[in-house]
Structure 1
């Protein structure tokens, strides 16, 4: 499964994290930057992406509907891309568990 970075995260994260999460993308690369959460959710579901977001709405949607798609909810506030990258790198093992474990639908990283 690939990561799909939400609009509230830097598109630069795709390249910065390509060594850990190849084939990941950003919503703006798919014309989804101004789309609704539902449209992003359906795109991620249809294209086997895990949504990476700072938006609680996706985590709530995950609780209501389960997966796919899975959701990676970053709880680091409005942090610079380098800090977000560091958080994702330090949480790589937990993220891989989310992606691999059929019983998990959402992971919060702090």
Structure 2
């Protein structure tokens, strides 16, 4: 699964979890840091990314539009980048299963 980290998350996550989720990227690498959520949605859809965010708006879009793209909504509050990387590592099997679940568009991780 290719992850696209939203602007509210550090670009460093791409490298920190690259062994589990290769080819992941950050919105800043694509000039998408300040675009509306719908533009980010369309980019992720067109390029085969799942969006990782702390933003409820993208989770709501997943509920309205379904997938693709899938949304991984991090509900852990403000945490350090290292703690977010650890959270994603601990939930890696769930995230990988989520990729193949056609009935679910949004995965909430606590």
1:78, distance to aligned residue in structure 2 (A):
1.2
Partner of 1:13: 13
Q: 1:64 aligns to what?
A: 64
Q: 1:70-96, CA deviations, whole angstroms, 9 ceiling, x for partnerless residues?
A: 000000111110000010000001100
Partner Cα separation in structure 1 for residue 8 and residue 93 of structure 2 = 23
1: CA distance between counterparts of 2:104 and 2:38?
Answer: 20
In structure 1, the residue matched to 2:86 is 86
| Pairwise CA distance, 1:107 | 0.4
What's the secondary structure of 2:69's corresponding residue?
coil
Which 4+ residue blocks in structure 1 deviate beyond 2 angstroms?
none
How far the C-alpha of 1:40 sits from its partner, in A, is 0.4
Please list, as runs of the form range in 1=range in 2, the aligned pairs for 1:1-110 lying within 5 A after superposition: 1-110=1-110
**Distance (whole Å) between structure 2 residues aligned to residue 61 and residue 33 of structure 1:** 18
Measured on the aligned residues, the alpha-carbon RMSD in Å equals 0.6
How many positions carry a matched residue from both structures?
Answer: 110
Gaps of 5+ in 1: none
CA distance in 2, matches of 1:99, 1:57: 20
Supply the distance in 2 between the matched residues of 1:32 and 1:83 (Cα, whole angstroms).
24
